[in-house]
Amino acid sequence: MAELSGAVVVFACSHRAGGNSDAAAELVARGVREAGGQVRVVALRDYAVLACLACRACAKDRDSACVLREKDQAEELFAILLSAPAVVFVSPIYFYALPSLCKTWIDRSQRFWEARRKGDAWLLELPERQAFACLVAGQASGQKLFEGARLTLRYFLVNFGISLAEPVGLRGLDERGDLLADPLAVDRALALGREAWAAAQGRPA
């Protein structure tokens, strides 16, 4: 396993560069820095990730690897996830769910789910860590607007020994610039950065 590095990792999950979730990701990063921490923002759209083939090769035996591992950059992203002391997912909501780029990467983590099922010690012995999420949606209402994304993130991350805090859901943000024009949303994103840095150091915010 890679060593835990000092920097909080912020995964920016939007397909749109320079939109609301990129703005939120930068604010989260600013919150980390203002709290004295280090942070790295990773935009998923900069990585090529192929869809899981559901071939079940990773389920065969303890040493079986993903057949796609040499063909794309999914493993680079897993290495970043595995070495971060705390992570923040900043994502728009697409059709009540995570965007397909993000979900495609998450599906590729099936090999970790299989490894956990098989009781692989290296996975079971990962340090317990904390994840945070900032979810951005265009709609102003919708009781279950963030529920699909929350559940997917929760059950993805649990395979890495990472527990997901209750996500920050930001509503009514659709056009580029909407988030930066909303002082409450800006404050909540900054506060999430401070919280993530505190968690990275193993203390409450």
Ligand X SMILES: Cc1cc2nc3c(=O)[nH]c(=O)nc-3n(C[C@H](O)[C@H](O)[C@H](O)COP(=O)(O)O)c2cc1C
The minimum distance between CB 163 and ligand X, in angstroms, equals 25
148 binds ligand X (CB under 6 A): no
Tell which residue, 5, 14, 101, 114, has the closest CA to residue 54: 114
Q: Which of 40, 45, 59, 96 binds ligand X (CB under 6 A)?
A: 96
Structure-block tokens of residue 153: 């993130």
Residue 40 vs 45, nearer CB to ligand X: 45
One DSSP character per residue, 84-98 reads: -SEEEEEEE-BTTB-
Give the pairing type, strands 162-164 and 86-92: unpaired
Strands 168-170 and 86-92: unpaired
Closer residue to ligand X, CB minimum distance, 19 or 31: 19
94 part of the interface to ligand X, by CB under 6 A: yes
| x-or-dash string of contact with ligand X, 32-71, rule CB under 6 A | ----------------------------------------
14 binds ligand X (CB under 6 A): yes
Q: Among 136, 157, 198, 199, which residue sits at the site for ligand X (rule: CB under 6 A)? A: 136
The whole-angstrom separation of Cα 98 and Cα 86 is: 20
Question: What end-to-end distance do the CA atoms of the chain give, in Å?
Answer: 27
Coil, helix or strand for 180?
coil
Residue range at the interface with ligand X (CB under 6 A); choices 19-27, 71-79, 157-165, 193-201: 19-27
39, β-bridge pairs = 8
**Nearer Cβ to ligand X, position 12 or 35?**
12
- Tell me the residue number closest to ligand X, measured at CB: 19
**What residues numbered 158-177 form the site for ligand X, per CB under 6 A?**
173-174
CA distance 131 to 152: 13
**What residues make contact with ligand X under the rule CB under 6 A?**
14, 16, 19-22, 92-96, 136-139, 145, 173-174
